[in-house]
Chain A
Amino acid sequence: MKKTYGWAGNVLHVDLTNGKVEKIPTSDYKPEEFIGGVGLNAKIFWELGCPEVGAYDPDNPLIISAGPLTGIYGPFGRAEVGSISPQCYPDELYTYSGFGGMFPAEMKYAGYDSIFVTGKAEKPVFLSIVDDEVKVKDANELWGMDTFDTQQKLMTDEPGSSNLVIGPAGENLSRIAVILNETECAAGQGGFGAVMGSKNLKAISAKGTGRINIADPNSFMDLIKLIVEENKKSKTAVNFRAPLFATPEIQNGFQDRYYKKQYGCYGCPQQCHSIHEVKDIGRGGLSCANGFYWFFSDKPEDIWEANILSQKLGINTFETALFFPHLLMASYVRGILKSNKVRDDLGLPVPRWLGGTDSNHEFLTVLLGKIANGEKPYSEGTARFIEYYKDKLEFGRELMAVYKELSTVNGYHVHYINNLGGELHKAVDTRDPYNSCHDYLNQDTENPHIHNEAMDHFGLPTFEQSQTVDMNKTDYQRVDNTTAWVQDNQSLKNSLPVCEWFSTPKNFHNSPQMDLRVFESRMLSVVTGLDIDTSSLAETGERITNLLRAIMVKRENRTRESDTLNEPYFKKAVTMNMVQTGPIDKDKFEQLKDRFYQLRGWDVRTGQPTRAKLEELGLNDVADELTKVGRLR
């Protein structure tokens, strides 16, 4: 086999319906054009014909791709999942979610850049990968086990393996089930744990003794030195510790008693996660999303149980720690949801923040239990929970109105996007786009100098004018540039991959050698041996964004009309996460979309890519296919 640099060289396809295992050279998927991660996932999904099936249909592929930088030194130890998502609402869309830990590197050492699974096994199975040896094995014994026990069993049976698993929530097809590696490295948004569950696939176990070749080891050493220096200087080095977001007093007390160790993805010097152990409750991890549990409690031990329960059951904490309680609390505060209705109508314990006397512990354990057991509507995720009650309760429609203030049009809780650039990005994505868009977060209203410093980076290739994003939400000019830039940057970050925490402009920006794109293109060049400069890398980001858009257009008939926000954003100022957004002027927003599509080279009338743009990016086959299905005008 030809020696490859950076890439492991193989894509693994397993069809669970007939047990067939197939190894395809990665070069068949043009990795130099789509890199890895979301880019390679999109390419594989496109080649599979963008199946117009539901999330639980056996023909929905579950695609997992690492990138050429995964498994080497640095903040690159991640992979991305791509699949039709059961969590997207109202329609199940093709979307993405990333994760770190050990598995992404391990799959590369085993020899695979991507693993994609199609079909459905007759009974519970797991996929066992030890280098070249790939087997579909019986998982009867594992089915029903929590994520920690499953991994421990698999690690005992195959020492040195790293395991990607689902918990009971995934088995029972909860639409907010995660795919988990280790303690808290999860592909969280998307509900992909349930896609695994629908295939009767309990786990993917990987063990690799192979290698990742570096084209230019000497130059690579120089880049490592830069990472080491930057990591030392980093102003915003992240280390998540429990109880995140609590008062310093509570936090210090908890740390003193229970903090065990820093932890993180393989190969990364930052190690931003942490492990805590609370006596009689248990040990588990913490990163960002699960930290939101502490927003509503002053009893950290109680919350700790909810945290590790989420990890063990395999539940998306962005839903259970943030979206769902946030929605109930907002409805209660506004007088829409009365205390007694929480128990009588919604069937849940009533904690203090909903005017009751039940403990947070009770509320959370009951809720998590229902989700893990697949009890509807709880297990369906926040969006469908509200949909379920909309016409059943006299205040159902009011609940729906609150839901709309807190969510994207595709059913996800919004993140801290507090400017028009973020809103536009949200409107054109398939989920909450913050998988890798903290770039917008750098518009720090309290520290505008940080904002300016960070935004200087947006002057790099292609979108020179995107230096500023208005924080007062009145200036709609130039926002199109910023959104396009961040979108392409997101495509790159999630394809190389580069960790979001390490690579926000605020974190990783000292000019000139550490500028985004400059650093990324040098890194990719010395690792892969390809000649990649800043502008060719920028074009690659644009190509991936366009392929993702083409998938939306082909499979989901994505149009200009679907690129929007929920109505409340156009009607009033919506305050969430302490950040005020809107009201957004609808006419100006539509004009912004005009300019955005123009800048993108997309049809302004339809919001769909044009042949000229697709051909410019070498996506001629994509243009032909879109023409064939009547979606290229």
Chain B
Amino acid sequence: MSMVKARTHIIHDQNICTACGICELMCSLYHEDLYSPSLSRSQIVRQPFTADHEYYVCQQCESPKCYEACPLKDAAICIDSATGIVYINGEECTGCGECVNACPFDPPRININVKSDVAFKCDLCRGREDGPICIEYCPFQAIKLESKDER
């Protein structure tokens, strides 16, 4: 795997996923240097009795409503000109929550880190040499990248 270059997002195979949570754990370790599933950019909801675990992650919309809603557009929420990845710049974000409200998905794929008052969401580990860390460490290959063009 290599650094994400084209417009893609992460897809999840519910038939394979065991909800081991390693995606959440590696995500919070990579982005926050600690372990906290609630700070993970992707969210797993364990369903121990049906085994149909739910998975939520940013879909990298082509016309991102979060970006449009951001009062500090191009400073707090930006679009990477080379890859098209929509990402949050934690330095500029004020945690106003407009992006969370604008997200068309339920549950929203952007959340606010209440401790630092900054929004966070999946940016496909933008800039990471080996691509998204969750995909690299998933023991079952239950998540992978899908290009927008393939859809």
Which A residues contact B (CB, under 8 angstroms)? Answer: 71-73, 101-102, 105, 109, 148, 151-152, 159-160, 162, 182-183, 208-214, 217, 220-221, 224, 228, 231, 260-271, 275, 283, 285
Which B residues contact A (CB, under 8 angstroms)? Answer: 15, 18-22, 25-26, 28-29, 32-39, 45-46, 48-51, 137, 139-140
- Expressed in whole angstroms, the minimum distance between the Cβ of A346 and any Cβ of chain B is 35
A residues within 8 A CB of B38?
109, 208-210
In the bound assembly, the distance between CA atoms of A275 and B53 in angstroms comes to 13
Contact A211 B49 (CB under 8 A): no
In the bound assembly, the distance between CA atoms of A185 and B48 in angstroms comes to 11
A residues within 8 A CB of B25?
72-73, 267
Apart from the given pairs A73-B137, A263-B19, 6 other A-B contacts in the complex at a CB distance below 8 Å = A73-B35, A109-B36, A209-B38, A211-B28, A266-B21, A275-B51
A residues within 8 A CB of B49?
148, 151-152, 183, 283
A residues within 8 A CB of B39?
211
A residues within 8 A CB of B48?
101-102, 151, 182-183, 263, 285
B residues within 8 A CB of A260?
51
Show 27 A/B contacts (Cβ-Cβ < 8 Å), sorted by A: A73-B25, A73-B26, A73-B29, A73-B137, A102-B48, A109-B37, A152-B49, A162-B46, A182-B48, A208-B38, A209-B36, A211-B28, A211-B35, A211-B39, A212-B35, A213-B34, A214-B33, A214-B34, A224-B137, A228-B137, A260-B51, A262-B18, A263-B48, A264-B18, A266-B46, A283-B50, A285-B48
A residues within 8 A CB of B45?
159-160
Contact A263 B34 (CB under 8 A): no
Which residue of chain A has its CB nearest to the CB of B115?
Answer: A211
In the bound assembly, the distance between CA atoms of A224 and B139 in angstroms comes to 12
In the bound assembly, the distance between CA atoms of A94 and B141 in angstroms comes to 44
B residues within 8 A CB of A105?
21
Which residue of chain B has its CB nearest to the CB of A208?
Answer: B38
B residues within 8 A CB of A159?
45
Which residue of chain A has its CB nearest to the CB of B46?
Answer: A102
Which residue of chain A has its CB nearest to the CB of B138?
Answer: A269
- Expressed in whole angstroms, the minimum distance between the Cβ of A227 and any Cβ of chain B is 10
- Of A148, A224, A271, the residue contacting B18 (CB under 8 A) is A271
In the bound assembly, the distance between CA atoms of A552 and B38 in angstroms comes to 41
A residues within 8 A CB of B140?
262, 271
In the bound assembly, the distance between CA atoms of A106 and B15 in angstroms comes to 25
Given A182-B48, A214-B29, A217-B29, check contact A269 B36 (CB 8 Å): no
In the bound assembly, the distance between CA atoms of A73 and B22 in angstroms comes to 6
In the bound assembly, the distance between CA atoms of A72 and B26 in angstroms comes to 9
Contact B139 A261 (CB under 8 A): no
Contact B20 A269 (CB under 8 A): yes
Which residue of chain B has its CB nearest to the CB of A213?
Answer: B34
- Expressed in whole angstroms, the minimum distance between the Cβ of B76 and any Cβ of chain A is 23
B residues within 8 A CB of A162?
46
B residues within 8 A CB of A269?
20, 22, 139
B residues within 8 A CB of A101?
48
Which residue of chain A has its CB nearest to the CB of B21?
Answer: A266
In the bound assembly, the distance between CA atoms of A525 and B137 in angstroms comes to 23
Contact A263 B51 (CB under 8 A): yes
Which residue of chain A has its CB nearest to the CB of B39?
Answer: A211
In the bound assembly, the distance between CA atoms of A601 and B46 in angstroms comes to 48
- Expressed in whole angstroms, the minimum distance between the Cβ of B69 and any Cβ of chain A is 25
In the bound assembly, the distance between CA atoms of A331 and B45 in angstroms comes to 48
A residues within 8 A CB of B33?
214, 217
- Expressed in whole angstroms, the minimum distance between the Cβ of B117 and any Cβ of chain A is 15
In the bound assembly, the distance between CA atoms of A611 and B140 in angstroms comes to 52
B residues within 8 A CB of A220?
29
In the bound assembly, the distance between CA atoms of A231 and B139 in angstroms comes to 9
Which residue of chain B has its CB nearest to the CB of A6?
Answer: B35
What 7 A-B pairs come out closest when comparing CB atoms? A211-B36, A182-B48, A269-B139, A209-B38, A212-B35, A261-B51, A275-B51
A residues within 8 A CB of B51?
260-261, 263, 275, 283
In the bound assembly, the distance between CA atoms of A213 and B115 in angstroms comes to 14
In the bound assembly, the distance between CA atoms of A270 and B20 in angstroms comes to 9
